Amino acid sequence: MPAQPLDGITVVALEQAVAAPFATRQLADLGARVIKVERPGRGDFAREYDREVKGMSAYFVWINRGKESVVLDVKDDADRALLDTLLARADVFVHNLAPGAVDRLGLSADTLRAGHPRLINCAITGYGDRGPYRDKKAYDLLVQCEAGLLSITGSPEEPARPGISIADIAGGMYAYTGILTALYERERTGAGTDLSVSLLDALGEWMGHPYFAQAYGGSGVVRSGARHPSISPYGAYACGDGAQVFLSVQNDREWIALCERVVGRPELVRDARFADNPLRRTHDEELTAELERSFAGHTADGLVALLDAAGIANARLRDVAGLADHPQLAARERWGEFGSPVGPLRGLLPPVEVAGRQAALRPVPALGEHTEAVRAEFS
């Protein structure tokens, strides 16, 4: 098998929960050696979030594939000496320790930079290393609240939490891309750098459209359930068989095609209520009634066929089992198998396909599985 892009890169991760492990798993999938340092006893507390994967945590399985687990008590002199040795030989150090904890451990950015000038040091925090929220606990849903996401997510009646840990994922992705950028820079300059990512900043960036709409449009984005807050028609529409089809019209060309080729009512194009997208959004309830009156004569499968033929973007609502059986993923062979303490598991391949290389799906580690081997190697 050809070498992976990050073969030869060593990452030391003092991490737990979701954001930092998500970032380092991306690096592991690209071939980096990720040494995950866990607490004595129960290790990363994400190991105990649930027992859904044959007794293992689904969270932990998802974001810790391909790593080596080493149990260290960083307050113990011998274990701390081993950690220092690991950092001396590492290319990247990733941690999501609380602000202040790194200083108490003697792992501040200034200390690491002085001793390890080539090291890329990435700190992930909830709210950053200064300001009134510096020491505030920052769990995913709480950061979503602080970033304003819940104010625009859910129905008009009440907010709703998105079904995934979106703040953690946002922070993890910015840490991952920042580390890749720093590795590229080091290739040119020979010097490492210090990176910091806060979950609030990361999710705040993803809130860019609502922010600009609010700051300069006045009204901002409102909670609209499964409908788009600023585009119409865009959302779920009932068919004659009781099922729903989701569709999206992004421009006037598509609007004309929908009216003429799918709905069979070209006069809607000239209807003053629906003359452009802002007007269609204003009259969304009336437009929905017009469309569903036409769609009542079609099954969901029949409507999808008409929409596809007219070039109108559409989708059927799938559940998680539907993702697991998705025909597009199967046709592109996007599923792979990797090992774990409970046996082989099936999972999606990394989203980025590297030409000429097969993804390295390495096992999920048992707690402390690699401790003795790493001690022997780095002693």
Q: pLDDT tens-digit profile of 91-124?
A: 999 999 888 888 888 999 999 999 999 999 999 9
CA terminus-to-terminus distance, the chain = 31
Separation CA 111–CA 100 (nearest Å): 13
Q: Token pair of 24, please?
A: 């380092």
Q: How far is CA 281 from CA 202, 214, 216, 232, 274, in A?
A: 30, 17, 19, 5, 8
Q: What is the mean pLDDT of residues 212-237?
A: 86
Count of alpha carbons within 13 Å of 345, Cβ hemisphere only? Answer: 25
Looking only at the bridges linking them, the beta strands covering 244-248 and 234-238 are: antiparallel
Check residues 98 and 339 and name the one with the higher pLDDT. Answer: 339
Write down the pLDDT at residue 357. 87
Band of the pLDDT at 18, cuts 50, 70, 90? very high
Q: What is the mean pLDDT of residues 10-31?
A: 96
Residue 1, pLDDT score: 62
Percent of residues, the chain, with pLDDT higher than 70: 100
- Token pair of 86 as six digits: 């690991």
pTM over 0.85: yes
Mapping DSSP to helix (H, G, I), strand (E, B) and coil, where does residue 112 land? helix
The whole-angstrom separation of Cα 78 and Cα 156 is 57
List phi, psi (to 5°) of 338.
-140, 160
- Residues annotated catalytic, as ranges: 228
At 153-180, the pLDDT tens digits run 998 899 999 999 999 999 999 999 999 9
* CA 71 – CA 82 distance, rounded (Å): 11
